[in-house]
Structure 1
Amino acid sequence: MNWIAALPMYNASPALAADWRALLGRAEARLAGWLAARGDTLSIVEPDGPLAAFWLRPDLLLSQTCGYPLVHALAGRVQVVATPAFDIDGCAPGRYRSVLVTGAHVDAPSLDACRGLRAAYNDDDSNSGMNLFRAAVAPLARARPFFASVTRTGGHLASLRALAIDRSADVAAIDCVTFAFVREHLPELANGVRVIGFTGDAPGLPFITSNAVAAGDVARLADALDHAVRDDPALAQRLKLRGFVRLPADDYTSILAIEREAVALGYPRLL
C-alpha cells in the first residue's frame, strides 16, 4: 500500500504548514521499519479536493479532522488515533474552545450585545466556528433570529478577514488554537478584532486513520506521533504542542449533545 498523510487544519501560514509537514516527517521516520516490513510506503501530500472526501480515502494513514464531521459524515468510517494537547490558553489536554471575537469597529462588550449584528462562520460542518457558536447563542436567542445576517466564509482566516479587514461582518467564533497561531503569524488579522468571550469546550481536533488500518496498528501510529513531539522540542514549541492524548472515540459524542441542546432551545441553526 502507498499510504498518504496530510495535516490541513492549522496551516495559518506557510511556516506553520511546513512545520506540520515536518511533524509528519518525524512520525514517518518512526514508522519506517513497520512500513518497510509490510512493503508499504508513505507520501506526505496536500489534499487536492474536498476534505470530506480526502478523509475517507482508504489509503489515508494520518490526517486531522474536526470533531463535527467525525460524529456526522465520518462516523464509523475512520478511526481516531490521538488528539493534540496544545499549550494554549483555553485548551485543557485534548480539548479546546472557541474565542468569540468582534471586529475592532464594533462596540459590543459581550455576545448578548451582538444581537442584531452580522455574524460570520467558517463552515456548516465546523464544531468551533458553527456548532460551539450556535450553542453559545442559543440561550440568548430564545428561539428567534439573533443576528441581522449570517455569512459562511469557508474558513476561520476568511472569517477574521471579514471582521478585521473587510468589515463585512461583526462577530465570529474562532477555534482558540487557530486564534493563537493568528496572533503569532498574522497580527494584521488579530489586531483588527477584539475578544469578547469564549464558548464552552469540546474534545480537540482528532488525528484519524483509515478503517483499512488494522486496529492493533492504530496505537503504533499514536506512538509515532508521541515520539515526533519528543524528538524535536523546538518543532513542538513552534506548533504549541505539549503532546498527544488518546481519547476514546465515544468522547466525541459530547459534540452531538452540544448540538442537541441548541436544537432543544429552538435554535437549530445560526440565524
Structure 2
Amino acid sequence: MVSWKINLVYVPPIVTVFSVSKTIEGGTQLINKWQHIAHNVTEDLFINLLITPVLVTFNSLFLGTADQLVKIVSDEFPELGLEKKDCSEMSWIESVVYHSINLKGESIEALVERRPSPKAYFKVKSDYVKKAIPEEALEEILKWCLHENLIMAMEPHVGKMSEIDEAATPYPHRGGNLYIIQYLMGWDDDDASENHVGSIRRVYEKMKPYVSKNPREAYVNFWDLDLGTNDNACCTSYGQAIRWGRRYFKGNFKRLAMVKGVVDPTNFFWNEQSIPPLVLSSSY
C-alpha cells in the first residue's frame, strides 16, 4: 500500500499579484538585484523572472494586500518601481488562473474544464544557481538570449524549500540554491533541427561556469535527453544511468534505484531516463 499525506498551510482570503515588464536594455541591474533579494525578502512573497529576447518580466504572488506588497517591494527592491496600480488583489484560486500560461484572463471555472492543450514543439533544459552570477556575466547572458531567440525563466529556490533535508524526499535540490533556471526554445513545426535545438545547447554550454557543479544539477520534470538515455529496458546498468540520475536526484539516486530493485526488479516500467533496478546480492 502506498499513502500520501499532505499538510495544508494557511492562505489569506486575499492575495496580490503583479506582472511588470521592462525592456531588455538596462535589464542587467534589475536581474542582478533580483538574484540577491528574491530568495530572502519574506516567505509570503514569491517573485520569479522571465527573460525573452526583448523583455525582462517580473511575476509575483504575495500572501497579503496590495498596500503591504508595495511597501515591501519599495523597501527591498525599489529599482523595480512597483506602484499599486501594477497590483491586483484576488483570491488564491484566482491567482492560479492569473499565472497560467493558457488560462490567463479567464474565470476559475476554466480550471475544471478538460481542454486539450495546443500542440507545441520545444526543447527545455535546466540549471541551479548557488552563487549570484556576476553583473558583467548577466549582460552577456541577455545578449545570448537576444542572439539565440531564447527564453530563460528563473525562480527563487530558498524559503521553505531549504528547510527540508535533501535526503527527506526524492527531490534533492534544497539548501544552497538561490534559484533554478529553465531554458526554453520553441518552434512552430515538428522539425527539431539543429537550427532549433542548437541554440539552447549553445547557451547551456556557455552557462557552465555560473551554475552548480559536481554534479551539474538538473530538474527531472524538465526532461533533458541530452544528459543521456537508457539503451533499452533490459540493458541499461546503474553505472550508465547515474550520468543523468545524479543530476536529477543527487545522493538519493542510489536509494531510488534500490527501491526500484525491490518493487520492479525486471524493469517492466521504464522510459528513456527511468531509474534502473539496483538489486543487491544477499550473499557474501
Q: Please state which band the TM-score falls in when normalised by the shorter chain.
A: under 0.3
**Normalising by the residue count of structure 2, what TM-score does the alignment of the two structures yield?**
0.22
Which protein is bigger by CA-based radius of gyration? 2
Structure with greater helix percent = 1
Structure with greater strand percent = 1
